[in-house]
């Protein structure tokens, strides 16, 4: 099945049509800068632009940087606070006139990697960390997602909130060389290792492309790999999620 996958990020909104069976992008990826301020109506208008770019008429999956329950955004760390308690499934569906299902962006990336990438068939606990404007996390236990883990917001033993200390945006903002930033990320990963004892860490987001440049600084015993789909995992996973969610909702039996 072909689904338009969209990844809403703090700096860019990206999309491509995805073959959900293979995870391949069947079109070029298209990126539009995230409107600033990233208000709900402005983000919805940008998503509409993307849909028009692809002249898309089918199902849409959208990875979004917030905890999302039943279509409602519940947090807003790197987007406008007015998103909190907005039903973004409804807002985006109405704006573009197509069926849209939204999922946390890191959960989307994790879904793609567990279905088709590095996490496929892994026994035990897999943690995916996306390194971008924020730090996003998704956790899978024997292939089953525990949704909306917001573990980029944990506090480290130096009193710093992980995302405000070790994200890629912080590296850029503080002008840190990758060598200076890497110990910060290692601090985060060792903390996560001690708390969850995972079997595998998968790194996604823009910075995952550069893993070879900071792998030496990582001291965790857990294997660490870059997402097979690198920062396209979010787009692919959003598409897979939409297909699964649409099917799940169709099969839900109405209450008596
Ligand atoms: C948000 C998460 C998101 C992550 C990556 C965090 O600030 O709270 O929901 O997954 O950024 O975008």
Encode pLDDT of 200-212 as tens digits.
999 998 888 899 9
CATH number at residue 80: 3.30.420.40
pTM over 0.85: yes
What is the share, in percent, of the chain residues with pLDDT greater than 70? 98
135 in the same domain as 182: yes
What is the model's pLDDT at position 10?
Answer: 87
121 Rama sector, left if φ>0, alpha if ψ -120 to 50, beta otherwise: left
Assess if residue 115 is contained within a domain: no
Cα 102 to ligand 1 centre (Å): 14
What is the model's pLDDT at position 72?
Answer: 98
222 in the same domain as 137: yes
Average pLDDT over residues 122-145: 96
Residues 6+ apart with CB under 8 A from 253: none
Assess if residue 116 is contained within a domain: no
Task: Report which ligand 1 atom has the smallest distance to the Cα of 130.
Answer: 5
Give the integer Cα–Cα distance in Å for 19 and 29.
13
Q: For the chain, what is the domain count?
A: 2
**229: pLDDT confidence band, cut at 50, 70 and 90?**
confident
Measured from CB, residues less than 6 Å from any atom of ligand 1 are: 65-67, 75, 77-78, 104-106, 130, 132, 134, 136, 150, 152, 163
Assess if residue 92 is contained within a domain: yes
Average pLDDT over residues 122-141: 96
Give the integer Cα–Cα distance in Å for 181 and 19.
36
Tell me the residue range of the domain where 125 lies.
Answer: 121-227
79 in the same domain as 60: yes
pLDDT for residue 256 is more than 70: no
Cα 105 to ligand 1 centre (Å): 7
pLDDT in tens, 18-39: 999 999 999 999 999 999 999 9
Task: Report which ligand 1 atom has the smallest distance to the Cα of 67.
Answer: 9
């Amino acid at each position: 099945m072909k689904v338009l996958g969209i990844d809403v990020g703090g700096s860019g909104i990206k999309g491509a049509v995805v073959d959900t069976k293979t995870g391949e992008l069947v079109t070029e990826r298209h990126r539009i800068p995230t409107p600033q301020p990233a208000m709900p109506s402005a983000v919805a208008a940008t998503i509409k632009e993307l849909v028009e770019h692809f002249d898309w008429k089918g199902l849409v999956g959208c990875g979004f940087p917030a905890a999302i329950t039943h279509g409602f955004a519940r947090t807003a760390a790197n987007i406008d606070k007015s998103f909190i308690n907005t039903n973004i499934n409804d807002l985006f569906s109405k704006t573009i006139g197509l069926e849209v299902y939204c999922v946390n962006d890191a959960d989307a990336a994790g879904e793609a990697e567990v279905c088709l990438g590095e996490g496929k068939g892994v026994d035990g606990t897999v943690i995916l960390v996306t390194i971008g404007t924020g730090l996003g996390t998704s956790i899978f236990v024997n292939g089953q997602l525990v949704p909306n883990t917001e573990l980029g917001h944990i506090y480290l033993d130096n009193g710093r909130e992980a995302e405000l200390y070790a994200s890629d945006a912080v590296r850029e903002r503080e002008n840190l060389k990758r060598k200076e930033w890497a110990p910060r990320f290692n601090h985060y990963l060792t903390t996560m290792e001690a708390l969850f004892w995972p079997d595998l860490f998968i790194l996604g987001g823009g910075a995952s492309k550069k893993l070879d440049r900071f792998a030496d600084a990582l001291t965790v015993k857990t294997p660490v790999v870059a997402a097979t789909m690198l920062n396209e995992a979010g787009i692919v996973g959003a598409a897979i999620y939409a297909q699964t969610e649409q099917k799940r909702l169709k099969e839900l039996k109405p209450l008596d």
